[in-house]
Amino acid sequence: MKTLNRFKKSCENFSGKILVACSGGSDSLALADLFCESEFEIGIAHFDHQIRGEESRADAEFVEKFAADRNLKFFLGSADIVNEAKKNQRSHRSIETTAREFRYRFLFETREKFNFDLIATAHHLDDQAETILMNLIRGTGIEGLIGIRERDGFLIRPLLGFTKLELENYCRNRNLQPRHDSTNDLPTTTRNRIRHEILPMLKEFNPNIVATLNRLSQIASSDRDFLKIQAERFFTLKRKNFLNQHVSIQREILRIWFERLDLKNISFDQIESVRELIQKNRGHSSIDLPGGRIFVENGELKFMRRG
């Protein structure tokens, strides 16, 4: 009952028809059941990645039965992810990345086609801790320290306040008998190694490392919001006004500017190169970025698209 009440509180700002992504594992099964107990209007979506053969098909059948037993609409998508990843070897996309792309494409298309308002996924506190650590290992700024957001457009994550253990206990108490994805046990991906090797080691130093990393996420999110509010005050990008700002505000100004130009995957090094361009203000100097060229003209930062 305590879990259900906490869940209802986490959903206070959500309304409308919700498409619940459900793999059949303990996290997403708990999510679907909690939504049922909270009397939301939901549908259940499952994507079969065809990676584990008969196990994958059994997962789909299990989730379909879960939906049918509760008179819920069920939506099934599938793709041969291993084969799709091989097709994209030149882009160096892993099986995990390819699976995520196909899964979310299916969820987005299902939401639009069947008029759902929101998509709910089962990310929880442990997922958040793993994501932050993964971002730190790869190299990140404040955005990476935020990790997974509770809401991102029509994507919602109502379980971010729950641990993996709490969700497993909920399933046990509700006799839900979730499926188990054996690939999650293999130390073949960065996330799995963080989950099974790095986090347990960190818990030896700090038993509350998951809660600690989630507090870091909340602090980073507040700081990011403050920086964004400050940065929003400085558009257009005049060189003199820009140089009067603290370096943290300068970086945030450029991040927002790139977002407005629909420039994606701009790296920290590229942002620093643009900051240096503005500081030095050399005539005829410019920087090439994906999609175009950046330069300073008459004391103002300009962007010229290619083609």
The predicted pLDDT at position 232 comes to 65
Determine the Cα–Cα distance for residues 77 and 244; give it in Å rounded to an integer: 52
The reply to whether the predicted model has a pTM over 0.95 is no
Task: Give me the phi and psi of 152, to 5 degrees please.
Answer: -140, 90
Burial 68-82 (b: 16+ CB within 10 A, else e): eeeebebbbbebebe
Tens digit of each residue's pLDDT (9 = 90 or more) over 48-65: 998 888 889 999 999 999
pLDDT at 234: 55
- Quick one: 3 exposed, middle or buried, by C-beta within 10 A (0-12, 13-18, 19+)? middle
The reported pLDDT for the residue numbered 305 is: 77
Closest CA to 176 of 286, 69, 79: 69
Amino acid in the structure at residue 245: Q
Q: Would you give the distance in Å from CA 164 to the centre of its chain?
A: 17
Helix, strand, coil percent values for the chain (each to nearest 5): 55, 15, 30
**pLDDT at residue 156, rounded to an integer:** 97
Give the model confidence (pLDDT) of 119-134 as tens digits.
999 999 999 999 999 9
- Structural domains in the chain plus CATH codes: 2-122+157-185 (3.40.50.620), 232-305 (3.30.465)
pLDDT of residue 133: 95
Residue numbers in the chain where pLDDT is lower than 50 = none
